[in-house]
Amino acid sequence: MAAPTVDPAAEPTPAARPSARSRLSFTARLLAAATAGGLLYLSFPPRTLWWLAPLAFALLGTVLRGARARAGLGYGVLFGLGFLVPLLSWTGGYVGPLPWLVLAAFEALFLGVAGAGMAVVSRLPVAPLWAAAVWVVGEAVRGRVPFGGLPWGRAGFGQPDGPLLPVAAVGGVPLLSFVTVLAGLALAETVRRLVRPEPGTPRRAAVLPAGLVIAALLAGPLAALVPATRTGPDRAVTIAAVQGNVPRLGLDFNAQRRAVLDNHVRETERLAADVAAGRAPRPDLVIWPENSSDIDPLRNGDAAAQIDRAAAAVGAPVLVGTVLLNPDGRTTSNSALVWAAGAGPVERNDKRRVQPFGEYLPWRSFFSLFSSYADRAGYFVPGPGPGVVSMAGVPVGVAICWEVAFDDLVAESVAAGATVLAVPSNNATFGLSEMTYQQLAMSRVRAVEHDRSVIVATTSGVSATITPDGTVTAGTGQFVPGTLVGPTVLRSTTTLATRLRSVPEWVLAALGVAAVGVAGLGARRGRGRPGSAPAARRDQAGENEDG
């Protein structure tokens, strides 16, 4: 009998078709992962597109569902690059693209590991819940390691204009991130079950993930109903934030340190003249920004005289951001001094968490091999204390610049009695970038988290006054001098987030780790039963989605 002939033009066999489809699916998932990261970036300030964040995680959840851990790692890294490369672009403004891209790529690895965990738990019942908890694990680790971590870009920090913001007062930034991610992942699962239900699964199976979407979106309005614990009555004082501006952009602005100091003295004296003329209320205390006097006033009598003149003119203590040389003659401290006219510095707060690769260089001899910019890193050392100073009888919590990104530092200040928070910053190095708006968003979230007014004072903008509900009541432009002055409410209330501190984060992280463990154990047992239909389907799905 003759052997059967094969028509070259015939349809490919069923066994051949999945390979082509899997390659197409793999390419589509790569593009979708990077696109999802871009959507998350676009949800962050200065834009008010907060709703793009849940959509970003909905798209990411669709990409990760059913994927193996290895594929989830790759998708997560692509998501991280799509998000962090544009978000952190300001870091390369004056040191070139290489440090910026290296930083973004390194931080994207953390999102990749989170993606791997989210892919693993995507096969569990109620998968969006566990995957959102895994995301919190990734943020918790990224905010701590290496060299103290980089919490910049946490999902919760992108929500100051959204309805979920009140969640921060219940569980801090970790819980705010969790509900943001959960809303998106549950939305994706709801749509999937409605559009492409699994064989034998009724469409009513979409009820559970739809309930998670509703619960996540209602979390904000419900959290707003949780009252803060009052330990004393509110009172108001008048606080001024002075933005003196800098004479030139870029890293070399420090070469004109005296001009920066003179600008802040001049702007404070202008405020004093307005007070005398009845055009502005008399402030009880004045906040100058970080680096407003990079000339050490403890060693330079002329700088001290200038600051004292400004404090005497305005008739109020001034919080002066300065750089102080330490007794060892080599290291420096990024400090905020409370300056009283005629008495000089009466209190001091040193920055408690200094910035690696900027204020100091870890492994200096090693990193100096790769870039000449390494020589520009300083020799700053962290200071002690809870970050609180007393100004005119007001306990002021001080978070110097990027310290506002760290949960523990702000919580310590509030626990130590701060009734208002000050965020003195110097963003001049980063030019006309989005960095200052990203930092302002963090300050707004902190205001809600701890039920405190926040005063942001920067050398070059954007300075702002923020009420305890996160509303910006006044703000300056960028690279213009300006002064914000007005009544500020002081509160000694305690929110649930303030009392719980890191408990919500640890609980969510434990759930995420446990879910990964359970899913991994289940997958191992499934591989041990290769003849079972579910295991075979999972193995085939994994092969397809790995490309």
pLDDT in tens, 458-508: 999 899 999 999 999 999 999 999 999 999 999 999 999 999 999 999 999
Query: Where along the chain do its domains lie?
Result: 18-223+500-530, 235-493
| pLDDT at res. 258 | 87
Contacts of 211 (CB under 8 A, 6+ apart): none
Domain 235-493 has CATH 3.40.50.11900: no
Q: What is the DSSP string of 509-533?
A: HHHHHHHHHHHHHHHHHHHT-TTSH
pLDDT level of residue 248 (50, 70, 90 thresholds): low
Query: Is 18 in contact with 406 (CB distance < 8 Å)?
Result: no
Contacts of 382 (CB under 8 A, 6+ apart): 350, 351, 352, 353, 354
Q: Identify the burial level of 11 via C-beta atoms within 10 angstroms of its C-beta, where 0-12 means exposed, 13-18 middle and 19 or more buried.
A: exposed
- Tell whether the model's pLDDT for residue 300 goes beyond 70: yes
Each residue's pLDDT tens digit, 361-392: 888 777 776 666 666 778 999 999 999 999 99
- Tell whether the model's pLDDT for residue 9 goes beyond 80: no
Amino acid at position 272, single letter: A
Mean of per-residue pLDDT scores for the chain = 90
> Structure pTM?
0.91
Give 371's strand partners.
none
Query: Is 500 in contact with 282 (CB distance < 8 Å)?
Result: no
CB burial of 309-340 (b: ≥16 within 10 Å; e: otherwise) equals ebbebbebbbbbbbbbeeeeeeebbbbbbbbb
Q: Which two tokens stand for residue 6?
A: 């094969």
- Tell whether the model's pLDDT for residue 543 goes beyond 70: no
DSSP structure class, residue 284 = S
- Tell whether the model's pLDDT for residue 541 goes beyond 50: no
As annotated, the active-site residues are 290, 351, 401
Q: What is the rounded distance in angstroms from the CA atom of residue 263 to the CA atom of residue 460?
A: 11
- Tell whether the model's pLDDT for residue 547 goes beyond 80: no
| pLDDT at res. 24 | 66
| pLDDT at res. 166 | 98
Percent pLDDT > 90 in the chain is 78
pLDDT level of residue 336 (50, 70, 90 thresholds): very high
- Tell whether the model's pLDDT for residue 7 goes beyond 60: no
Report helix, strand or coil for 47: coil
- Tell whether the model's pLDDT for residue 254 goes beyond 60: no
User: Which phi and psi (to 5°) does residue 350 adopt?
Assistant: -95, 145
Query: Is 322 in contact with 310 (CB distance < 8 Å)?
Result: no
| pLDDT at res. 390 | 98
Each residue's pLDDT tens digit, 117-163: 999 999 999 999 999 999 999 999 999 999 999 999 999 999 999 99
Of 249-253, 304-308, 403-407, least confident by mean pLDDT is 249-253
User: Which phi and psi (to 5°) does residue 540 adopt?
Assistant: -65, -40
Each residue's pLDDT tens digit, 163-182: 999 999 999 999 999 999 99
Sheet with 394-398: list strands edge to edge. Answer: 388-391, 394-398, 420-425, 453-458, 464-466, 472-475
Report helix, strand or coil for 327: coil
Q: Which two tokens stand for residue 214?
A: 């509703």
| Residue scoring higher pLDDT (253 or 299) | 299
Residue whose structure tokens are 């920055």: 351
pLDDT level of residue 247 (50, 70, 90 thresholds): confident
Q: Is the peptide bond before 8 cis (omega within 30 degrees of 0)?
A: no
- Tell whether the model's pLDDT for residue 13 goes beyond 50: no
How many Cβ atoms sit within 10 Å of the Cβ of residue 43? 24
| pLDDT at res. 373 | 66
pLDDT level of residue 545 (50, 70, 90 thresholds): very low
| pLDDT at res. 544 | 42
| Residue scoring higher pLDDT (96 or 162) | 162
Query: Is 72 in contact with 117 (CB distance < 8 Å)?
Result: yes
Amino acid at position 246, single letter: V
pLDDT level of residue 2 (50, 70, 90 thresholds): very low
Contacts of 356 (CB under 8 A, 6+ apart): 147, 148, 362
